[in-house]
Amino acid sequence: MIIRNHERIHADEENLCKKCISELEDLYSYLELSREELDLLDMPRRSFTVHFPVQLDSGKTKMFLGYRVQYNDARGPAKGGIRFHPELTLDDVRDLAFLMTLKCAVVNIPFGGSKGGVVVNPKELSRHELERLTRSYIRAISDYIGPYKDIPAPDVYTDEKIMAWILDEYERIKGEHTPAVVTGKPIELGGSKGRNYSTSLGGILVLEEALKKRSIRKQEVNIAIQGFGNVGENAARILHERGYKVIAVSDSKGGIIAEGGLDIPAVMKHKEQSGSVVDFAGSKNITNDELLTSDCDILIPAALSEQLNEKNAADVKAKIVLELANAPTTIEADNVFSDKKIMLIPDILANAGGVVVSYFEWSQNLNNDYWEEDKVLEKLEKIMVTSFNDVHALCQEENCSMRTAAYQLAVKRILYAERLRGNL
């Protein structure tokens, strides 16, 4: 199988949706939105449900259910992933499409938000069945996606190989090369350099701006990272390469800490050989809970949701929390951090680097102009730094949390676009 393990991502993003919606209910009241503005934000612009057949290896045909929701496209074509998940519902897809709308608005890229997927357990399909499922789903929604309508991307249980099948099937239907119809493709088919670690790098770029705001030098900080999957491992690697001291990391089996700092390349090699960061030479084994309350200056939750909560928030010693995971902090913990003057950089901003580089991929495809990695990273830095400063300035102006400021900025940008179009 070509699918990686994403079992917890679905639940984590559900938690992110719940938290976001709870925050927005308070924000809508604070912004004193009109009935017309509330109605516009309350429902997606378009929702599609499709029912399509797939031939199984046994020769039998099975019907599958798929969805695509385009929540808002006032700021540009809709943008959002495709997921294959056995518990997927239309409500899930709608809420996640709304989150994508907000995320694109926060980093001010010219996209709206969408999401889609198929109700299926891909682990139960062979490679050929998975390909036939993907192609059948794209045939069912092909009239509703496109470079100027809605651009899919990888999500839960989908990857660059599936994006290649999507591209190929769409081009067969349309009879022309259209690489900009989907992002997250292999580089050989028009994918962008730098995309595989863009989420991690984007977060580190906003972290460095936060350090400037707090007048903290890199030589003065100790960093702890919960999660050593793709995002957490790349974050640790990039921080180590930039001269930061990472003192603690963890994975699902446990964590390690070394007050003098960890040799991250050696930790990566140890995990590759042993399957975990635990028992790394020269470090002390700790639990994930101990990592979260360790004596660090910067805490980066890059694993599961709701890890920082009312039980441990008071014990967090970090000065800055960078949310690379989805919804790692509960509302109760948010309030504790606010009282303790801990700067929390919210997920909607901190982990937006992935969609920013997806935007670059789309732009490169449209212009048939493929950039070297340095150019991708330079442009990513400009957008992430500008976005952080926009959110931070509003946070200072309104005397609110960074999370509230990010949501407020996103909502204002979406409504302004709707107003310019004459829809309000």
Domain membership of residue 422 (yes or no) is no
Please indicate, yes or no, whether residues 151 and 73 belong to a single structural domain of this protein.
Answer: yes
Domain membership of residue 217 (yes or no) is yes
Considering 316, 333, 350, which residue would you say is the last residue of a domain?
Answer: 350
Classify burial at 276, counting beta carbons within 10 Å of its beta carbon; exposed 0-12, middle 13-18, buried 19 or more: middle
Considering 182, 210, 231, which residue would you say is the last residue of a domain?
Answer: 182
Domain membership of residue 111 (yes or no) is yes
Please indicate, yes or no, whether residues 224 and 310 belong to a single structural domain of this protein.
Answer: yes
Instruction: Kindly report the CATH number assigned to the domain that includes residue 132.
Output: 3.40.50.10860
Domain membership of residue 20 (yes or no) is no
Residue 212 clears pLDDT 50, i.e. is over it: yes
Please indicate, yes or no, whether residues 341 and 206 belong to a single structural domain of this protein.
Answer: yes
Average pLDDT over residues 157-166: 96
pLDDT digits (tens, 9 = 90+) for 7-32: 444 566 666 666 666 667 777 777 88
Domain membership of residue 396 (yes or no) is no
Residue 255 clears pLDDT 90, i.e. is over it: yes
Please indicate, yes or no, whether residues 214 and 178 belong to a single structural domain of this protein.
Answer: no
Please indicate, yes or no, whether residues 58 and 169 belong to a single structural domain of this protein.
Answer: yes
Count of domains for the chain: 2
Please indicate, yes or no, whether residues 204 and 345 belong to a single structural domain of this protein.
Answer: yes
Domain membership of residue 143 (yes or no) is yes
Q: Identify whether 375 is a catalytic site residue.
A: no
Considering 318, 335, 350, which residue would you say is the last residue of a domain?
Answer: 350
Q: What is the pTM for the complete model shown?
A: 0.91
Please indicate, yes or no, whether residues 175 and 75 belong to a single structural domain of this protein.
Answer: yes
DSSP secondary structure, 121-174, as one string: -GGGS-HHHHHHHHHHHHHHHGGG-BTTTEE--B-TT--HHHHHHHHHHHHHHH
Give the Cα separation of 3 and 360 in Å (integer). Answer: 25
Please indicate, yes or no, whether residues 280 and 141 belong to a single structural domain of this protein.
Answer: no
Please indicate, yes or no, whether residues 240 and 344 belong to a single structural domain of this protein.
Answer: yes
Residue 295's closest CA among 248, 329, 336, 342?
248
Domain membership of residue 5 (yes or no) is no
Instruction: Kindly report the CATH number assigned to the domain that includes residue 259.
Output: 3.40.50.720
Please indicate, yes or no, whether residues 315 and 212 belong to a single structural domain of this protein.
Answer: yes
Please indicate, yes or no, whether residues 176 and 264 belong to a single structural domain of this protein.
Answer: no
> What is the residue-averaged pLDDT of the chain?
93
Domain membership of residue 365 (yes or no) is no
Which of 103, 115, 245, 271 does the annotation list as catalytic? 115
Please indicate, yes or no, whether residues 57 and 85 belong to a single structural domain of this protein.
Answer: yes
Q: Give the range of the structural domain holding residue 265, as residue numbers without chain letter.
A: 197-350
pLDDT at residue 9, rounded to an integer? 46
CA–centroid distance for 266 within its chain:
27
Copy the structure tokens of residue 412: 């204002």
pLDDT digits (tens, 9 = 90+) for 40-87: 988 899 999 999 999 999 999 999 999 999 999 999 999 999 999 999
